[in-house]
Amino acid sequence: MKHYRVATIPGDGIGKEVLPPARAVLDRIGAHHALSFSYDEFDWSCARYLAEGAMMPDDGLDRIRHHDAVLLGAVGWPGVPDHVSLWGLLIPIRRGFHQYVNLRPISVLEGVPSPVARALPGEVDFVVVRENNEGEYSRVGGRIHEGTPYEAALQESVFTRMGVERVLDHAFALAGRRGGRLTSATKSNGIVHTMPFWDELVAERAARHPEVAWEQEHIDALAAKIVLDPARFDVIVGSNLFGDILSDLAAAVAGGIGVAPSANLNPEREYPSMFEPVHGSAPDIAGKGLANPLGAIWSASMMLDHLGHPEAGAQVMDAVRAVLASSPVRTADLGGSAGTDEFTAEVLSRLP
């Protein structure tokens, strides 16, 4: 029996509703593979911020540093500015644990209608690799002359050679193991310092991966192509901002934000990696038992992959695919009438 300690951070809103399904799936598939999980739950959230003035305690990272993985629901709540919840919890974990790869698989699942007529199951299957530690999401900058006509805001991007190279290497290696194609998102026509640097490094790292055919696309044209011809992509790599936007666009093409999973990886495994659905806390449906747990369940499947149990991870996704393809059970965001628990029970019933 192999045992894993998982730190869980349900967060706010539906984050608290989608983690129990993910845990139930892990426990069930784990039992089949002689894996056991224990969960240490942390109440870090906007609720905690409102009560105690901080999203997490000062020594938060130390409390989860030695866990095998982190499973996160979602954070964010009306009344707490979104930059507070992001910079107070998610970004410190992603950066403190050098989770510099944000992986977002995009697949059109049979039975999940895409708003894009051409996005067909079995054809659309790609991965967005987002740089997760630097780039446009930086604290460098400031405001001057606030509240006057001279007011100005400056926001600096930070692109380091090491930071860009390591995420590119991860993306090229992933493309080598998958379909052998990589698309780099750029904007080197308009952004004249950081993006030409990014492009140069892409060409340099590509030379080390002759097995991968690569291209680069300006982000605006790329956004259009993801809608017009999503089946042509295999691995898309982009900076923090570009990867963030593209992965939500791609998730919408694949049928909705409630389905989309993500992994924040520390590939060197010096620190735990973190797995979380792409969606937020959905205050509009929170507390009603309506949330689609699929994004969280798929994220748990990615956690199994990362921990070295790809067969277990694949079986979770097989069960999800079977429910969607051969039963009417699905949540309201996918056009069904099932609640979170009913959908979860259906997935559990199809696991080995």
**How far apart, in whole angstroms, are the C-alpha atoms of residue 305 and residue 310?**
4
Q: 62 CB contacts (<8 Å, ≥6 apart)?
A: none
Q: Report, in Å, the least distance between residue 333 CB and ligand NAI.
A: 4
291 binds, among ligand NAI, Mg ion, none (CB under 5 to 8 A by kind): ligand NAI
Q: 105 contacts which partner out of Mg ion, ligand NAI, none, CB within 5 to 8 A by kind?
A: none
- Residue 40 CB, shortest distance to ligand NAI, in Å, is 19
Are 195 and 185 contacting, i.e. CB atoms less than 8 angstroms apart? no
CB of 283 to ligand NAI, least distance (A): 6
Contact criterion met (CB below 8 Å) for 296 and 23? no
User: Binding to ligand NAI (CB under 6 A): which residues in 14-43?
Assistant: 14
Q: Does 74 bind ligand NAI (CB under 6 A)?
A: yes
In the structure encoding, which two tokens stand for residue 308, read together? 């070295």
Site for Mg ion (CB under 5 A): how many residues? 1
Q: Where are the beta strands (DSSP E) in 227-315?
A: 235-238, 261-265, 273-277
Q: Which of 135, 295, 313, 339 binds ligand NAI (CB under 6 A)?
A: 295
285 binds, among ligand NAI, Mg ion, none (CB under 5 to 8 A by kind): ligand NAI
Encoding tokens for residue 5? 């300690």
131 binds Mg ion (CB under 5 A): no
244 binds, among ligand NAI, Mg ion, none (CB under 5 to 8 A by kind): Mg ion
Partner interacting with residue 74 (select from ligand NAI, Mg ion, none; CB below 5-8 Å by kind): ligand NAI
Give the span between the Cα atoms of 263 and 135, in whole angstroms. Answer: 18
Minimum CB distance to ligand NAI, residue 15 (Å): 7
Six token digits for residue 165: 């190279």
- Give the Å distances, CA to CA, from 13 to 73, 287, 336: 9, 7, 21
Residues constituting the chain: 352
- The residue (of 79 and 147) whose beta carbon lies closer to ligand NAI is 79
| Minimum distance from residue 104 beta carbon to ligand NAI (Å) | 12
Point out which span in 28-36, 71-79, 107-115, 229-237 binds ligand NAI (CB under 6 A): 71-79
Count other Cβ atoms within 10 Å, centred on residue 189. Answer: 10
Neighbours of 320 (CB within 10 A): 23
Give the footprint of ligand NAI on residues 230-259 (CB under 6 A): 257-258
Q: What character string, x for contact with ligand NAI (CB under 6 A) and - otherwise, covers 311-350?
A: --------------------x-x-----------------
CA dist 174 and 158 (Å) reads 25
Rounded-to-integer distance, Cα 72 and Cα 43, Å: 11
Q: Which stretch binds ligand NAI (CB under 6 A): 26-34, 123-131, 287-295, 320-328?
A: 287-295
Which is nearest to 90 in space by CA: 210, 244, 252?
244
CA distance 194 to 205: 17
Other Cβ atoms less than 10 A from the Cβ of 268: the count is 9
Site string for ligand NAI, 92-111 (x = CB under 6 A): --------------------
Smallest distance from the beta carbon of 74 to ligand NAI, in angstroms? 4
The SS3 call for residue 227 is helix
Smallest gap from residue 284 Cβ to ligand NAI (A): 5
- 244 belongs to the binding site for Mg ion (CB under 5 A): yes
Q: Are 90 and 75 in contact (CB under 8 A)?
A: yes
